[in-house]
Structure 1
Amino acid sequence: MEPLRGADPARIARYRLVRRLGTGGMGVVYLARSAGGSLVAVKVIRAAHAGDPGFRARFRREVETAGRVRSPWVVPLLDADPEAESPWLATAFVPGPSLAEAVEAYGPLPGASVRFLGARLAQALGAVHGAGLVHRDVKPGNVLLAVDGPRMIDFGIARMPEDTALTASGMVVGSPGFLSPEQAQGRGREIGPASDVFSLGCLLAFAAAGVRPFGRDSAAEVLVRTVHDEPDLDGVPASLLSLLRDCLAKEPGARPTVTGIQTALDGGGGAGGWLPESLTGLIARRSAAVLALPAVDATEVSGTPAGVDTVPGWEDPPRGATRRRLLVLGTVAGVVAAGATAVRLTAGRSGHASAPGGGTPLPRLVLALQADLTGGDKPAGRAQENGVRLAVDHFNARADRGLSLALEVHDDGGSPARARRIARQLAADARVRAVIGPTTDACAEAVLQQYTRALLPMVSVSVGLDGASAREYRAYAATRPPDRNLPEPLVAYLVRTVRTRRTVLIDDAAEGDFSWEVCAGVADGLRSARRTTIRRTLAAGADGAGDFRALAESVTAAEADAVVFAGGCARAAELARALRAAGFSGARLATQRALDPRFLASAGDAADGWVFAAAFLDPARVTAAKPFVAAYRERFGAAPPWYSAEAYDATLFVAGAMAALGASRAERGAIAGRLRETDYRGITKRLRYTSSSTGYTMRALYLYRTAGGRFRFLGQYEEATVTG
């Protein structure tokens, strides 16, 4: 729900508007109360369409068709005025999510839930067909989930089979991916009840497996697959396969009837317990949010504000109100009351925090940090913990946040096995909405699948995995560039600053694929710049002074003017001393794996002049980070270390997505989706998602140089390597 905007009307007929539920090209849907206190959803058509006689006629037809259907599993039409200056209709309000939202946020439904869903929707379609109509747009977005069962909505394109308005040859009407072959081919006169059966089969396959049976590519490609290809039913439980294959038969006559589907599926689930606990909790929280809205008396104003449109309508109670309509209003109240019952069972797990000024407590959502706080990468892990804590405090101090964050900290010690145990714990804890971390690549690899299956957003700060595709791991957001990008600043420095002619690339076998990839990337970059490269390999077991002396002598013998080492800090220090002893005076470069105070301590004077490529900045040297630096010093009594500011940004990136959704909608899958829609500008970087496999794009690669026994930040590499 969103607050009303200044241009929104205060009232539509006898309904007092209290919130916005959604908006689209055709109009706006509002949450409203009648004077008697009943909650309804009011759909108001935009003025631009209201002036179109053809559109107004279609809207009138929608009202007529929706009013003909009688079923407990169809959201009932309560009221309408298609002749008003701004046409509108009012339906019962269901506080639950759509099936599309539920599957995107929580994954496929259990088999029993799918059976109950299918049986009730088949019953609803039976009522639609019994009224002489074909729904024509059966899809997950048109099914709402309530604690006692699903509700079908939207009769905007429902028609009688013989209706000529939508039977022109070649006209495709509906939603690709859930259309029947006869709809996909525009065979309008063949579109009957069997077409809805095919769409129901697509919907149930999506609910059971979490994927569309004919894919998610362009509309044209999906329509072609619908007509010619067999559906993809991988992931559908075996008990449902036969029925769904029958529903998805290409020929209408080969499909079962809705009565047959209901008979085949009845017995799965049960009212009040048909949904998994995660979805029941979501409905409970949304119901609680609705119940907390002010009563009509609290929102009433005398007269109509200047400039606010009203639509004439019935007084409350309306004259001639039927017993059925009063019963429907009672049913809607029952849906909300059922949600309130669930609130008593599940609300409070995330808790509430006091609102600014001591007002109504705000919902509290749990954010988890998983980091190496005691292992080999403890400095980075501790820096990230401190950055996250500052960000949570900063967010919770905002007056406009709408929710509060509670932080849980988990130490994996840099152990993949321990990381997996923590991931299982967090994935099973429904209170946890997102995870910041882990610290290391190895721990991230160990938990990616677990968090993906749980649709639990995993937002990493210091992980540089190359193989973590944003398409494969939809809940994963890396806020630093992958390791494969580290050669870019090295090449830029060699070409623009050093203007190297011959560069020796040293592949440290002890670092595995990382070192090989860095050397390969630098070689490719220098080759395109017409520079010469020479490859050398440092064996994984090399640890004696003689090994490094021989390697340094091979560099000088090659008459190189630059050397790139892709190993860690201890072996980089050994090489630094050996190169100094061999008299090498050319450029010496490495990556962030050697950018460690231990390198300075071990290499001594030989460390001076080395240049490092890194994916983190020095916040003390960044203007935008000055408030963060001051807050860090005040809180922790020291200058902020590397990766603390990046962790601060990652946390506010997630918190911003939660706040944009609102507490009632900030579920795991919804947060993951919102992160991909967010353009975040922080103190360290700007994060934007692209559809490419790289996921989040950012200009976040930097250069450091050692001088006087310290690492000195040179800046973003493109700016630090500008020639002239």
Structure 2
Amino acid sequence: MEPLRGADPAGIGGYRLLRRLGAGGMGVVYLARSGGGALTAVKVIRAAHADDPAFRARFRREVETAGRVASPWVVPLLDADPEAESPWLATAFVPGPDLSEAVRECGPLPLASVRFLGARLAEALDAVHAAGLVHRDVKPGNVLLAVDGPRMIDFGIARTPEDTALTASGMVVGSPGFLSPEQAQGRGREIGPASDVFSLGCLLAYAVTGERPFGAGSAPGVLVRTVHEDPDLDGVPAPLLPLLRDCLAKEPGARPGVREVRQALDGGAGGAGEGWLPEAVTRLIARRSTAVLALPAVEATAVSGAGSGAGSGADTVPGGDGARGVTRRRVVVLGSAAGVLAAGGTAAWWTAGRPHRTSAQGGTGPLPRLTLAVHADLSGDARGTGRAQERGVRLAVDHFNSRAGRAFDLALQVHDDAGGTAGAQRIARRLAADARVRAVIGPTTDACAKAAVPLYQKARLPLVSVSVGLVGLSSAGPSVSPSARVYAATRPDDLTLAAPVVAYLVHAVRARRTVLIDDAAEGDTGRQSLGLVDDAVRSPERTTIRRTLAAEDGSAADFRALAESVTAARADAVVFTGGYARTAKLARALLTAGFSGARLATSHALDPRFLTAAGEAAEGWVFAAAFLDPTRVPAARSFVTAYRERFGAAPPWYAAEAYDAALFVARAMTALGASRAERGAVVSRLRETDHRGITKRLRYDATSYQYTNAMYLFRAADGGFRWLGEYRDVIA
């Protein structure tokens, strides 16, 4: 809701206007109170359209059609005056989100919720069709969610099947992505009740998967797919698939009727549906209802310089303890909204049991708690990195919760996948089902991230990674997998790390002949990365030679032959893409072969176990990495001190980066506010958040996350790893 503006009337048609609910090209929708105190939504047409006889006739028709439909699942028309100087209509007010907002912020609905949703909407459409009408615009934005069931709205383009006003051949009216093929082709006279069934099928597929069955993109492309291609129903639960396939049949005659749809979904059972929504959506409705409770008294809604309208006509009830009086109308509204909260059953949960602290507004009271989860490898092969990230996040949560004036507290959950993909998927499912969790930091490894991201995407649960180097997941272009949408990487991917390798070869050691060795055991990324190095280094003055170590090659003889090929090529530099164990074997083989040139590897080999396995052969190797040594960074001094005090040692790699990632998420949540920090909203807000942390600046541009000064070089020296710094500083 937004405050009224100076040009807004104080009232219209006996309704006192309270807030703006929305505005579009046709007019403005206000939250208002009737003379009896009931909340209403009043739609007022703009003056420019009111002067158009054709538009006024269309609005008159909307009023007439909306008034003909009687169903508990259709928002009722309460009053209207299409002949007024500024035509208007009033409907009951539903303090809940529309379906598109609920899915965007809270993720797809569970199957049971979708079955109830579909059955009630089919019942609503049955009433629409019984009134001799076709809705023509069944879409998520026209379905409001309430604690007892959905409500269908907007009869602006509803018509009788024989009405020629919107059935001219070739005219496409409605919302692409939720139109039937006959609508998409402008076959106006064929648009009947079966068209609404097709749209309902699209809506239910969206509700249960979060994706439109005919995709997104340009309207023409969506319309073409609607007419000529099969719907994409991946992700639709098996019990719902047969019905949705029937609803989405291309020919109207092949689709079921709305009564068949209702019977298939709930056997024809009706009644109230308290508890039909997942908890996150119920909380969203409760917060909207709470906002209604906070509305000012009628006298406070007068707009300075506003046009004349309905008078307040309200009696004042004195408030105790010197409080401002409230009106009898406000008492009526309080009772109505309190009933909604009671039905939702979540308002008390949201604040109960919280310790009283000073809020950002200066008062005292319980702060809401928003839960952040760590998904990491704490007991597997990458446990060192996983534990570092867990500890970094813990310090970030402690730091955030110590801030004065914060609007909420952060709670923390920690989950161990032991480095296995099955464990990663199990944790992702658990966190996806836990409505308290608003964002996840992790996982630790590429394989676990690849396994878990689709599950987090399905739940619209933000996933912020710290150590994952997978390529492409954090992009957002139109060709990128939908799994990218919830995923935010806070480090450059592995291909990007070709830049410091190139810079070191060209500027630091001025290599003339470089052997580039791809370790096939590491997959395609190493080969692609070396391709980038090859293209950047090779020139008339510099030669590159490509080699591949097969995944099955691993004997001492294999590495000896590889090292001898390097010396035979008279190379002065070598780059290898293997992990720590195979890099150690190559290091020993190169030392035995007498190679003394520059030796470079990626962060896959930057592991203390490399030092142990390679022994003296480790000396001098240089590694490109996406993490820094926080003990060498002035901006991280307070973090290093806090880490030492808490854990008794210097912070390891990736601890500081995890600290930044957690505060990056907290910054996005703070911008939203505790009441709006649902999962989908956090996903969107992260892309609008510019966070300057102790390790790097995190921000998003038009296609991907950007990282300022976030690629580094390390050298093995004296039995340890020495941080050389940001690579551009090293070569300067």
Q: Which moved more, 1:395-404 or 1:195-204?
A: 395-404
Deviation, 1:447, is: 3.4
- Alignment pair present for 1:341 and 2:353: no
Whole-angstrom distance in 2 between the partners of 1:528 and 1:21: 63
The aligned residue for residue 290 of structure 2 is 291
Distance 1:610 1:633 in 2: 29
Which stretch of structure 1 is more off in the superposition, 298-307 or 65-74?
Answer: 298-307
| Residue from 466, 477, 488 that aligns with 1:477 | 488
The question of whether the paired residues in 2 share the 8 Å contact of 1:38 and 1:333 is answered with: no
Q: Supply the distance in 2 between the matched residues of 1:360 and 1:83 (Cα, whole angstroms).
A: 50
RMSD of Structure 2 on Structure 1 (CA) = 4.5
Q: Is the 8 Å Cα contact of residues 16 and 309 (structure 2) preserved in structure 1?
A: no
Q: Distance in 2 between matches of 1:411 and 1:243?
A: 39
User: What is the match of residue 313 of structure 1?
Assistant: 310
* Corresponding residue of 1:390: 395
- For residues 256-289 of structure 1, the C-alpha deviation after alignment (integer angstroms, 9 at most, x for no partner) is 554554456553665444765525x522453255
Count of aligned residue pairs for this structure pair: 703
Partners of 1:134 and 1:252 in 2: how far apart? 14
Among 567, 577, 585, the residue aligned to 1:556: 567
- Mapped partners of 2:689, 2:397: distance in 1: 20
Contact 2:622/2:716, CA 8 A, preserved across alignment = no
Normalising by structure 1, report the TM-score: 0.80
Q: Residue type matched to 1:341 in 2? A: A
Answer yes or no: is 1:463 the counterpart of 2:468.
yes
Change in CA separation of 1:697 and 1:447 when aligned onto 2, cut-off 3 Å: same
Match of 2:125? 125
Give the CA deviation at 1:436: 1.0
Larger mean CA deviation between 609-618 and 598-607 belongs to 598-607
Distance 2:446 2:239 in 1: 40
Paired with 2:24 and 2:303, the residues of 1 have a C-alpha distance of 26
In structure 2, distance between residues paired with 1:54 and 1:400: 55
Change (3 A) 1:522 1:66: same
Residue in structure 2 matching 1:706, options 708, 711, 715: 715
Give the secondary structure class of the aligned counterpart of 2:345.
helix
Whether 2:688 is the aligned partner of 1:678: answer yes
Q: Distance in 2 between matches of 1:269 and 1:396?
A: 48
| Distance in 1 separating the partners of 2:644 and 2:31 | 47
Matches within 5 A, 1:482-501: 482-501=493-512
Compute the TM-score of the two structures, normalised by the length of structure 2.
0.80
Q: Pairwise mapping of residues 119-158 of structure 1 onto structure 2 (< 5 A)?
A: 119-158=119-158
In structure 2, which of residues 422, 425, 432 is the aligned counterpart of residue 427 of structure 1? 432
CA distance in 2, matches of 1:394, 1:44: 49
2:318 is aligned to none
1:18 and 1:651, CA in 2 relative to 1: closer, same or farther beyond 3 A?
Answer: farther
Hey, what's the Cα distance between the residues in 1 that align with 2:194 and 2:519? 65
* Cα drift, residue 388 of structure 1: 1.6
Show structure 2 runs of 5+ residues with no match: 316-330, 475-479
The alignment status of 1:371 with 2:382, answered yes or no, reads: no
Equivalent residue letter for 2:444:
T
Counterpart-to-counterpart distance in 1, 2:570 and 2:297: 82
Cα 1:359/1:139, change in 2 over 3 Å = same
Question: SS at 2:171's partner residue?
Answer: coil
1:617 aligns with 628
Distance in 2, matches of 1:637 and 1:310, equals 68
Q: Distance between the aligned counterparts of 1:528 and 1:192, measured in 2?
A: 68
Q: CA deviation at 1:407?
A: 0.9
Deviations 1:629-652 (A, max 9, x none): 676567667655432332233223
Deviation at 1:221, TM superposition (A): 2.0
- Report the AA paired with residue 504 of structure 1: V
Change (3 A) 1:275 1:570: same
Residue 72 of structure 1, CA deviation: 1.4
- Give distance in 2, aligned partners of 1:398 and 1:678: 23
Q: Quick check: 1:194–1:252 contact (8 Å CA) kept in 2?
A: yes
1:166 counterpart = 2:171: no
Q: Tell me if structure 2 keeps the 8 A contact 1:572–1:599.
A: yes
The 1:101–1:235 alpha-carbon spacing in structure 2 relative to 1, beyond 3 Å, is same
Q: CA deviation at 1:368?
A: 0.9
Change over 3 Å in CA distance of 1:517–1:193 after alignment to 2: closer
How far residue 592 of structure 1 moved from its aligned partner, in angstroms, is 1.3
Asked whether the equivalents of residues 351 and 364 of structure 1 are also in contact (C-alpha less than 8 Å), the reply is no
Query: 1:555-704, aligned counterparts within 5 Å?
Result: 555-569=566-580, 572=583, 576=587, 579=590, 584-597=595-608, 609-619=620-630, 640-672=651-683, 674-675=685-686, 677-683=687-693, 684-688=696-700, 696-698=705-707, 701-704=710-713
How far residue 138 of structure 1 moved from its aligned partner, in angstroms, is 0.8
SS of residue in 1 equivalent to 2:662: helix
| Partner amino acid, structure 2, of 1:680 | D
Shift of the 288–678 alpha-carbon distance from structure 1 to 2, 3 Å rule, reads: closer
- Are the counterparts in 2 of residues 615 and 702 from structure 1 also a CA contact under 8 Å? yes
- Conserved 8 A contact 1:85-1:311: no
35 and 444 in structure 1: CA distance in 2 versus 1, 3 angstrom threshold: same
Could you report, residue by residue, the CA deviation over 1:589-644 in whole angstroms, capped at 9, with x for unpaired residues? Answer: 11112334555677688656543211223456667667756765676676554323
1:646 partner SS? helix
State how far apart, in whole Å, the 2-side matches of 1:562 and 1:47 are.
75
On the 8 A contact 1:84/1:311 being kept in 2, the answer is no
The answer on whether the counterparts of 1:116 and 1:268 sit within 8 Å (CA) in structure 2 is: no
Q: Is the 8 A contact 2:460 2:486 kept in 1?
A: yes
User: Within 2, Cα distance between the matches of 1:254 and 1:330?
Assistant: 49
**How far did 1:75 drift?**
1.2
Q: Matches of 2:225 and 2:124 in 1, distance apart?
A: 28
Residues 228 and 705 of structure 1: is their aligned pair in 2 closer, same or farther, counting only changes over 3 Å? closer
CA contact (8 A) 1:686 1:699 kept: yes
Q: C-alpha distance in 2, partners of 1:198/1:78? A: 29
Q: Distance in 1 between matches of 2:253 and 2:333?
A: 37
Alignment counterpart, residue 545 of structure 2, candidates 520, 533, 552: 533
C-alpha offsets along residues 230-271 of structure 1, whole Å, 9 cap, x if unaligned? 444556567666655554454545655545544565536654
Answer whether contact 1:613 1:701 (CA < 8 A) is retained. no
Aligned to 2:419: 414
**Preserved contact between residue 377 and residue 440 of structure 1 (Cα < 8 Å):** yes
CA drift of 1:176 comes to: 0.7
Distance 1:285 1:108, change over 3 A: closer
For residues 190 and 432 of structure 1, do their structure 2 counterparts lie closer, same or farther at Cα, with a shift above 3 Å needed? same
State the Cα distance separating 1:377 from its structure 2 match.
Answer: 3.2
| Structure 1 spans left out of the alignment, 5+ residues | 319-328
Cα separation, 2, equivalents of 1:617 and 1:45: 59
CA distance in 2, matches of 1:85, 1:641: 71
Secondary structure of the corresponding residue to residue 134 of structure 1: coil
